[in-house]
Structure formats: C-alpha cells, structure tokens
Structure 1
Amino acid sequence: MKLICFECKSDYSDKSFQYQCHCGGLFQVVHDFKAVDSEKLRRMFAERLSQRMSMHASGVWRYKELIYPELPEAFVTTKYEGNTGLYASESLQAYTGVRQVWLKAQSENPSGSFKDNGMTVAVSHARSLGKQKLACSSTGNTSSSLAMYAALAGCKAYVYVPERQVSENKIKQTLAYGAEIIRIAGTYDDGIRFLEQNYEELGLYVCNSINPWRIEGQKSMIYEAAQSLNWKIPDWIIVPGGALSNAVSLGKGLNDLYMLGFIDHLPKVAVVQAEGASPFHRMIEGNHPTLIPELQPQTIASAMNIGNLPSWRKAQAMLSQTKGVTVSVTDEEILAAKQLIDRSGIGCEPASAATVAGLRKLTASLIIDPDETALCVLTGHILKDFASFLDYDN
C-alpha cells in the first residue's frame, strides 16, 4: 500500500502524513492487489455478514483487506456504519424511465449521511497517528459525522461552517456531539483554504475529502451495493456532485472490484449537480481544461452548495475511465424528485434527490437508454434539512 500524488505520481509512503504534494496535487492510496485471492475474499465477505459485535459487522470494515489492511484493530473507530438499505420502487422506476432503478440509502448511516463510510477510516487513521484535534470545513453532513466519530474516539472536533446557506439541523446535530463550531464569513471553499494553510500550525488533522483515507472509506459503499446485488452491477451509478468525494470514491471502488474480478464490467457514472452550483458540469459540458469556480453557489440542496471542488481532477479522470457524464438539475426538479422519494417511503434530503432528478433528465434526453438499469445514491437523511419541507404542496 502506497500514498501517491495523483498529479505528479510522487511516492510519499515513507514521509510524514500530509494532504498535498509539493506540486499542489492531492494524494491517493494505491493498493497492490496482485497477491489477493479474490475468491477467498468473496467467501470471507459473505461470512462476515452474519457478524454483529465485531469490527467486521461494519459495512466498511467488512472490507478491511481492500481499504486499510495494515491498520491495527485497536485503532479502528466504528459505529457499525454502512449496512444501508438498497431499495427498488415501481413509482421511481416509472418516474425515471429506466427498466430498473435501485436507491442506495446512505442516509441510513449512524449520523444520517454517506460521510460516515469515509469518516470511520479517517478518524481511525488519525488515532493511529496519535492525533487528538480533528477538523473540517463543512456545509453540514461532514461536520456531524466528524463530531460523532471524534466523540466516539475521545477526540476534539473543530468545525468551520459558513455563516449562510447551511442546514441548522446539521449544525445542531454537530453541537450535540460536542464539536466546537467556528463560523466563517465566507463559503465552504474559504474554510478548506484556511485549513490547508493552517492545519499544521494549529495541530489539526483534517477530515475533508482532501484526506485520501476519507476516499478509502467511502468507496466501501459500492462494495456493499455490489455484494447486495450478488456482484451484478447496474449499467449506471448516479451520484450527487458536491465536493465530488463520492464520485471519486465510487470510481476507485468500481476499479478495485473490476481489477479483482468481482464485477465483469465498469458501469457508467453520472455526476449530478444543482444548476446554481454546477462548476464541474459546466467544465465537462464546455470541454474546458480546468475548473472555473462558482464564486457564489446558490441551491436549496445545501450539501451541494460548493463552488470550488478540490477533487475535480480525480473526478474528471473517473468520468473518463467509466465513460460517464455530468448533468445539472434545477431546484424545482430536485424538490419534485424529493417529494416522490419521500412519499415512496424511503425519504432523503434535497442533495440526494438530485440523483433521481438527474436520472430522469438523462433518460428523457436519451443519454441513458430506457432498457438500462441504474443505482441512485441517496446521501443524506430526510430529517437533515427541515427547510425543504416548506416547499411541499399539501
């Protein structure tokens, strides 16, 4: 296992842990799977499904050999995250226009969002380094997840939160877990820049998606979905695009499964952004060489209210590898999809509903064939953002 710069390919495996290479690139964890016995692992993963009180009862640490095999078990900080539902719905199938659609409800994680899959690994890595002060910039879900795991590990969490356009429900959840909230007069992007420049001086371990161990944990979501479907992966995976960590981790997890022979093809990935916060979609659609940040992102889907996406290069490479696409949807389309998801008995926050809205749009435009199958990732719980309920019709 090595820590390699995604940009210049420098090997930082033997150096002290940091978040950016000297060239400015982000790191990724690179595994050597040459000696892995895939059939043995497949049997092991199936056997672990019956465990209840061990580390392997987690839907993340069940796959420890593919995520962080070298980590001593004593440092693992888990709340049995993962193990989230995979649902089919006839009404959503008709709404999106595809032959079969599944919804992976990452909203059922302990803190109520997909962030738990990555945070359990990041916090476990922090503990292995002896770190006690953990930090993030957040529009909500990252902060509550970090606060929960920090409390579980006996560490202190420091959360940098924009003054506007965040869900107060998520902030209250973060405070309840004992984190210290630092309000910033700016955006999520300003918080990331502050942490990148000051984490070392402040003695902070950063748990945002610039941390490669977050990505390692988050990729377990696609392992779990594939295992639930008996390793028969759908034609498309649809994911919301906020900071793009989910898109990057999906691509990494899919590549792992394909290399190991767990799946027989790489599905296409569609990244869905809200129109008011869609710099990645505009870059891909316009075939621009670099991302042009959205200085004032504006969308009802607060979890996607991010204008400068740190992982865009990794996400761009993932789209190329999977022959994927991007799409943007309006707030009205997001709320219409959310209402249907909620009334199907599954429920989600607005950012999650962007996946269903995006799938419907891609099918209507014939980018996705009606005879294809799709999996939509629901990232946040229905109770994460009460403000969106005000937009419902009775």
Structure 2
Amino acid sequence: MRAECTACGAELKMNERPMRYQCACGGLLRIVHDFSQVDSERLKRVFDERRGLRNCLYASGVWRYKELIAPELPEREAVTRNEGNTGLYEAEPVRQYVGAIRRLHLKAQSENPSGSFKDNGMAVAVSHGRWLGYTSFACASTGNTSSSLSMYAAILGKQSVVLVPGSEVSPNKVLQTVGYGAEVRTFAGTYDDGIRWLRDHAEEQGCYVCNSINPLRIEGQKSIIFELAHDMNWQLPDWIVLPGGALSNAAALGQGLSDLYALGFIDKLPRVAVIQAEGASPFHRMAARGSQQLVPEPKPSTRASALNIGHPPSWPKALRMLEMTSGVTAAVSDAEIMEAKACIDRSGIGCEPASAAAVSGLRKLVREGIVSRDETAACILTGSMLKDTDALREFHLEGKWRASELASQLMNPIRSLA
C-alpha cells in the first residue's frame, strides 16, 4: 500500500510504522491504487452479489467495495459492524422545501451503527492501524468522529483516546463516546488545536490518528459515493450536496467520483455543492473570492457543532474536488439550518443540525438559480437527530430559531393533557 503527496508528488509506504499522515513538505497524502487490471463489469456483478450477504465482512456497505478501497489489507485485520447500507429516500415535503426540483434523494448516513457517516471511514482507518500493530487509537473531535472511533476500538478491545474542545460540542456525542469506553480529554481551544496536538504527540504516545488527515479515513469514506451510485444503478444525479466541516466528506467524494469515472462505473461526473455554516465558513469564503489559499477562521461559531471548524484539514483535497466537478459552495445561517432540520425531521427521516445544512444550502442554490428546477440532486445527511437532542429542545420547546413563518409552523411544543 502506498500514498502520494498531493502537494509535491512524493511517494510514501503505508504498510509500515511509524504511520505517516502528511508528507515532509506538509502536503496531504492520498492512497494510490493500481486499477489497470480491474474488470469493472465483473466487479459490478460481485458488488451486486454481496448486497445479498449477511453476517460476513462483505455484507458491510464499506467492505463490499474493498477492491476499490483497501485491496491489500488482509481480511483478518478488517473490523466491521455492518456499517454503510444506509437508506436512500425521497421525501416530498423536503423536495418542495428546497424548491420543487425534478427529483431529490436523501442519503441517510445517520443510519450507520454509531449514528453518523464517520463509520464509513473509521472502519478502514482502525483496520489499517490494527494491521500496523497499533493498540491505541486517537482523534480530535467535535463529536461524531470520537463516537465512531470509540465504538470500533471497543469492538476490538483496544484503547481510544479522544480530545474534545471544552465548548460548542454536543453533550450527546461526548456521552456516547464515554459510553463506548474512550479516554476523553477536554482542552481549551478549538478542534484545530486538537489536530495540531495529535500531529506533534500522537506517535510518542503510541497512538494511531483517525482524523481526516489520515488518508485511510478518506478511502473508507469513498464508500459513501460508491454506495450512492450503486443504489442508483450507477446513474448519479445532476447534483450532490453535502455539509462541509473538516471537509473529509468532500475530499472522499472527489476521490470516489474520480475512481468511478476512471473505471467506467459512471459515464459523467455530477456537480457537487459544499455547504458551510456562516459562522464557520472559511472554505466557502475562499471559493467565493476565487482564491487557492484558505484563510482560517480563528473563532468559528455555529449551532451546527459538527461544522464548527475554522481550519478544515482536508481543504486542499476538497478544492480539487470542486475544480474536477465544476462545483460550488454556499454558506447558510444557523436559523436556516434549524428550519431545514425541522422540515427533514417532520418528513420522518430526521438529522442533526449539520446534516440539515445540505438541504438548506440546496434551497439557497435553487433560489439563486444555480441549481435548476429541472435538475436532480442528492443530499448527504451525515448524522442522526439523536446526536443533538438539545437542538430539538431549543427549537420545539424553547422557541429558538423562529426566523420565518415556516419555522414557527414547524414548531411542535409539548402540551398538557389537562
């Protein structure tokens, strides 16, 4: 297994310790596969057959696509909890909410075992660390990464160490992490400070880092676009819309689309829209000014805690993805996010606030004429509504975020029987 620096092109081996997360030049790494001998039509048949499997490695919605993700990884090292296999839904109220585009699908990554899309990447990262002989796994997290990592470490009976910012995180996610048995350490500062600490100290602590700076995390997250394309019989919609925090999903989406197109699984690339919260939107601001250099947000602040990241590590890969797909970005307010969340919740699907940014952003792009009403789209819902029950209380019981008449109509306060 080898990786290539996305900045200088240097090659590094990925099957030996110490684990490398970045090139000596500071550039991010991407895993390089040799697909020259891949028979795409045969693999399609194999993938179809695996969808009918149960209680085995290849029943996983990640490991189903192992040949395109981690072909060299020994099967005995792979950990799974039947991740992936998430629902693809059409919800008419949400389609009308975004502007009655021709067709809208919602990919509910919230149905993963730990409740978020992070399981797709974490299954592969933890498996790779196990292969290299690590017994302790670490991450910095605003919540979803930590709960996913601690779940997989618990499955293997290994230690997990989680760095959590002292403010603006969901208590539900931290408690989930505690429940899985992680050693949770809070610190003063932001997610970005936690990432810097891990870069400097993880190896001396004997820890394998499972954040998105790890290219194996990105490889696992590619399975989201593989499964979406598979769900749609390899005919992707005109647009794919996703929220952007650390931008690992955007980076993985770009790599996955590139793989599918190069192998002939899909015959065209969809356009991609990355949506950020206004209070934490350094990537959107960079794209809006046509820059090639991200200026970090020193004090990010948004109610959508999973998006509360001021210096997203995967921004260079996300930028390449935008260029490849003629993609766009947008930023939406917390009030817009919470209104969209209420609409998704009332459709019977539900999501955490960060997920709703995708739907809110799509609505904005339709209103601005960037997305045509004649086009089709899929929004990636990244986390479960139970990841942040405080958001439900604030909206429905405390009356916060009523920035529009629709938001007021969507409120559902608890009433006394008397």
Same structural fold, with TM-score higher than 0.5 when normalized by the shorter chain: yes
Whole-Å separation in 2 of the counterparts to 1:20 and 1:102? 36
Q: What CA deviation, in whole Å up to 9, does each residue of 1:22-44 have, x standing for no partner?
A: 10011100111111000000000
Greater alpha carbon shift after TM alignment, 347-356 vs 383-392: 383-392
Give the corresponding residue for 2:76.
74
Give the corresponding residue for 1:149.
152
Answer yes or no: is 1:133 the counterpart of 2:136: yes
Give the corresponding residue for 1:220.
223
Give the corresponding residue for 2:63.
61
Whole-Å separation in 1 of the counterparts to 2:72 and 2:291? 40
CA positional deviation for 1:210: 0.2
Give the corresponding residue for 1:5.
5
Give the corresponding residue for 1:40.
42
Q: What CA deviation, in whole Å up to 9, does each residue of 1:141-187 have, x standing for no partner?
A: 00000000000011100000000000000000000000000001111
Whole-Å separation in 1 of the counterparts to 2:10 and 2:222? 23
Matches within 5 A, 1:10-25: 10-13=10-13, 16=17, 17-25=19-27
Amino acid at match of 1:10: A
CA positional deviation for 1:66: 0.3
Matches within 5 A, 1:1-394: 1-13=1-13, 16=17, 17-97=19-99, 98-389=101-392, 390-392=394-396, 393-394=411-412
Amino acid at match of 2:203: E
Whole-Å separation in 1 of the counterparts to 2:294 and 2:201? 24
Amino acid at match of 1:123: V
TM-score w.r.t. the length of structure 1 is: 0.99
Whole-Å separation in 1 of the counterparts to 2:274 and 2:135? 35
Whole-Å separation in 1 of the counterparts to 2:251 and 2:373? 26
CA positional deviation for 1:13: 2.2
Determine helix, strand or coil for the equivalent of 1:124.
helix
Whole-Å separation in 2 of the counterparts to 1:2 and 1:370? 43
Whole-Å separation in 2 of the counterparts to 1:293 and 1:163? 20
CA positional deviation for 1:286: 1.1
Structure 2: tracts of 5 or more residues without a match: 397-410, 413-418
Whole-Å separation in 2 of the counterparts to 1:44 and 1:289? 40
Structure 1: tracts of 5 or more residues without a match: none
Amino acid at match of 1:188: Y
> What do you get for the CA RMSD once the two structures are aligned?
0.9
Amino acid at match of 1:275: E
Q: How many residues are matched?
A: 394
The list of structure 1 runs, each at least 4 consecutive aligned residues, that deviate by more than 4 angstroms after superposition, is none
TM-score w.r.t. the length of structure 2 is: 0.93
Determine helix, strand or coil for the equivalent of 2:322.
helix
Whole-Å separation in 2 of the counterparts to 1:226 and 1:19? 29
Whole-Å separation in 2 of the counterparts to 1:210 and 1:22? 14
Determine helix, strand or coil for the equivalent of 2:150.
helix
Whole-Å separation in 1 of the counterparts to 2:292 and 2:150? 37
CA positional deviation for 1:287: 1.6
Determine helix, strand or coil for the equivalent of 1:201.
coil
Determine helix, strand or coil for the equivalent of 1:226.
helix
Determine helix, strand or coil for the equivalent of 2:30.
strand
Whole-Å separation in 2 of the counterparts to 1:289 and 1:147? 35
Give the corresponding residue for 2:407.
none
CA positional deviation for 1:60: 0.2
Q: What CA deviation, in whole Å up to 9, does each residue of 1:315-349 have, x standing for no partner?
A: 11110000000000000110110000000000000
CA positional deviation for 1:290: 1.0
Q: What CA deviation, in whole Å up to 9, does each residue of 1:364-393 have, x standing for no partner?
A: 000111100000000000100011111232
Whole-Å separation in 1 of the counterparts to 2:104 and 2:69? 28
Q: What CA deviation, in whole Å up to 9, does each residue of 1:255-282 have, x standing for no partner?
A: 1111111111000110000000000000
Amino acid at match of 2:395: D
Amino acid at match of 1:83: N
Q: What CA deviation, in whole Å up to 9, does each residue of 1:209-241 have, x standing for no partner?
A: 000000000010111111111111000000100
Percent of counterpart pairs with the same letter?
61
CA positional deviation for 1:200: 1.6
Whole-Å separation in 2 of the counterparts to 1:125 and 1:213? 7
Whole-Å separation in 2 of the counterparts to 1:215 and 1:277? 22
Whole-Å separation in 2 of the counterparts to 1:357 and 1:232? 24
